[in-house]
Every structure is written in C-alpha cells, then in structure tokens.
Amino acid sequence: MRRALLAALVVAVALVGCATPPSAERPSDQVIALLLPESKTARYEAVDRPQFESVVADRCPECRVIYANADQDAAAQQQQAESALTQGAGVIVLDAVDSAAAVSIVGQAHRRGVPVIAYDRFIKDADLDYYVSFDSRRIGRLQGEALVRELAQTRTGPDEAPQGVLLVNGAATDPNSAALEAGVQDAFADAPIEVLAEYDTPDWSPDKAQEWVTGQLTQYAGRVDAVYAANDGTAGGAISAMKAAGLDPVPPVTGQDAELAAIQRIVTGDQSMTVYKAISEQARTAAELAVRVLRGEVPVTTARVQGVPSLLLSPVPVTLDNLRRVIVDGGVYTTEEICVQPYTDACAAAGLLDEGTP
C-alpha cells in the first residue's frame, strides 16, 4: 500500500514538473508596445504618447498600441515589457528607465523574434534594431555654448578669474546624460570657466536638483556665476533654489525640452535658454517607423549610432531673441498660452503681445 502511494506521488510530481505555463500570444503584426520611462517630465504624457498613438491610428487603423509608463522604476518596466510580449507585441518602442537594465528587455524580445526600437534614450550594449532620438552631445554643446556667451558678457577683462559654474546633470541611469555632459565639456574646453561641482540628478527630479543647488550656494557663496541644468525640470529646481537664496537677478541657467514653464521663465529672464526638440515630430517618427517595421519593411535611416540604424532629429536652441519665431510661429505654444498672468507684462516687454492686447 505504501509503495502504491509513493508511486502515485512520484507520477503526480512528474506531471506537475512537466506542466507548462499558459502560452503567450505569438508576436502579432497588429500590436505595438510603447514603453515610456516616467511622468515627472511633462512631455511624456502630454506629447509623446498622444502623438505616437495618433500616428499609429492613422497609419494602421487595425493596430493596437499597448502603452505603459514605468514611473522611473526599472523593475516595473521589465514587467511591463514582459506583459507586452505576452499580449503579442510585434514590435517594442522602448524609452528605457535604466539603460543597463533594459539590455535584458531587448534580449527577451529578440528571443521571441520581436524587434526593439530605442526611443529618445540609447541602450548601450544591446542588439537594438533601430534608434530614434536627437543628438544628445549636440544638445549639450548648444547648452554649454549658450552659457559661454552669457558669461562672456559679464567678464570685465582677460585677467579676471575663471567664472564658477554648477553642473546639474541628468540621471546617471540615462545614457543621454553622459552625452549631454560631454557636449557641455566640449563647449567649455577653451573658456575661462571653473566647474565648481556637479551632480547627477536621480530620476531627473526637480526637487532633488533644487536641494543640491541650495547646498552648493551655501558652500560656494558668491562664486556661482551660472548653472548648467540638463533639462527644464532641473532648471526649475535650480532657479527656485537661487531665488530662495536671494539671488536677484538669477545667474544664467540652461534647459532642455522647451516646456511651457521654461518658456515663461525665459520671458521673465529667470532662465537664459532651453533647447527645443520637436518631440511631437520625434514621437510621430517613431510611430511611423514602428508601423513599417511591424509590416516587415526595411525603413531608410539617416545615421548610425554605435552601429544601430538611427533617425536623429535636429535640436534648436531657444533664447528670448528667437522665442517668437521658434515657439510661437512654429506652433509650439500660442501667446495666449505663454502670456497669462503673471507673465503679461514681461511678454509685452519682450514684444510677444501686440499693442492693445490685454
């Protein structure tokens, strides 16, 4: 009797061991996954996602977009990618939270025969199929050159001591951050500038940027002549820190993304520049590429980044001098959106409002 029970148990265990999990959907030529990294930066939910989904709906009405935002959690993004593959994603458009962690997502997709398009952020050491973004080193150089020009206007002579700059970089987990910093250093190479300190901002958090800059203003009291901020969110944090410290006017501060709040800070003179990236165009380009890849086409690309076929769009520096042409005339924001209170007077002084406009 005991032998019979033991034999039955062995058979049952063997059957359980041989059981397979529920089968995942096979890759579909009608399913696209869009995986974005975070929502602290306004652009992702306001521009990237709706533009991407709009183009897919137009170019491939029968297609379905699986969308997920990882809220800056690499483990969550891994789970989202696995879920998308299980649901039959035929191509993944991935804006990685952490480029190192994202390598496994690319590998997992390829094991199922699913191509991966890196979006906005490059994924080093991964066998990517395509990459859609802007030239981050070029953006960093544009930012650095803007600071060099601003600081040159305040120098009193060639024998003056180097001017002090704080570097508020992006997140260390974002490979674009290193490229941005390299571009800034290119611009600073021959300039009389001293980098007082630099900070890799976790999660690109404006609050953490503000906290760090506050501490540096105490440490380098009277020596901070400008702040390099990698994007508009960290620029906002840096400017808040300087205003709280009583700096008036605020030293030159860079930015990136041309967020509405940054455009308004440029109008008031609190932020010296931003870099406009046609994010809507980037999202539309990625969507068009995804549809073509899904259909088995071999799209034409314009560049190669570390051997990966790429589509790189051109960034545009924005200052008060060209703000109307690039932002207003370019259809990014209207004067009605920019020139609300308390920015109306500054808009009038900058020539953004026509005479008689309230």
- Please write the tens of the pLDDT for every residue from 272-317: 999 999 999 999 999 999 999 999 999 999 999 999 999 999 899 9
Residue 289 lies in a domain: yes
pLDDT digits (tens, 9 = 90+) for 184-198: 999 999 999 999 999
Are residues 163 and 286 part of one domain? no
Q: Is the pLDDT of residue 15 over 70?
A: no
Are residues 260 and 243 part of one domain? yes
Residue 242 lies in a domain: yes
Are residues 296 and 259 part of one domain? no
Are residues 237 and 106 part of one domain? no
Computed over its alpha carbons, how large is the radius of gyration of the chain?
25
Q: 330 or 232: whose pLDDT is higher?
A: 232
Task: Kindly indicate the confidence band of residue 222, based on its pLDDT and cuts at 50, 70 and 90.
Answer: very high
Q: Nearest Cα to 81, choosing from 70, 120, 287? A: 70
> Averaged over 34-56, what is the pLDDT?
92
Alpha-carbon dihedral sign for residues 202, 36, 47, 289: positive
Are residues 248 and 214 part of one domain? yes
Residue 1 lies in a domain: no
Q: Is the pLDDT of residue 264 over 80?
A: yes
CA angle 270, 274, 276 (to 5 degrees): 145
Peptide bond into 249 cis (omega under 30): yes
Residue 258 lies in a domain: yes
Domain of residue 70, residue span = 31-128+279-313
Supply the pLDDT for residue 308: 96
Q: Tally the domains of the chain.
A: 2
Supply the pLDDT for residue 327: 95
Residue 328 lies in a domain: no
Decide which of 277, 299, 328 is a domain's last residue: 277
Q: Is the pLDDT of residue 5 over 50?
A: no
Q: 201 or 160: whose pLDDT is higher?
A: 201
Are residues 273 and 175 part of one domain? yes
Supply the pLDDT for residue 9: 41
Q: Is the pLDDT of residue 78 over 60?
A: yes
Are residues 181 and 58 part of one domain? no
Angstrom CA distances, 353 to 77, 263, 357, stand at: 44, 15, 6
Residue 156 lies in a domain: yes
Task: Give me the CATH number covering residue 304.
Answer: 3.40.50.2300
Angstrom CA distances, 247 to 37, 212, 240, stand at: 34, 16, 10
Backbone angles phi, psi at 295, to 5 degrees: -85, 5
Residue 145 lies in a domain: yes
Task: Kindly indicate the confidence band of residue 357, based on its pLDDT and cuts at 50, 70 and 90.
Answer: low
Q: Is the pLDDT of residue 234 over 50?
A: yes
pLDDT digits (tens, 9 = 90+) for 160-186: 889 999 999 999 988 889 999 999 999
> Which segment of 122-126, 147-151, 213-217, 232-236 scores lowest on mean pLDDT?
122-126
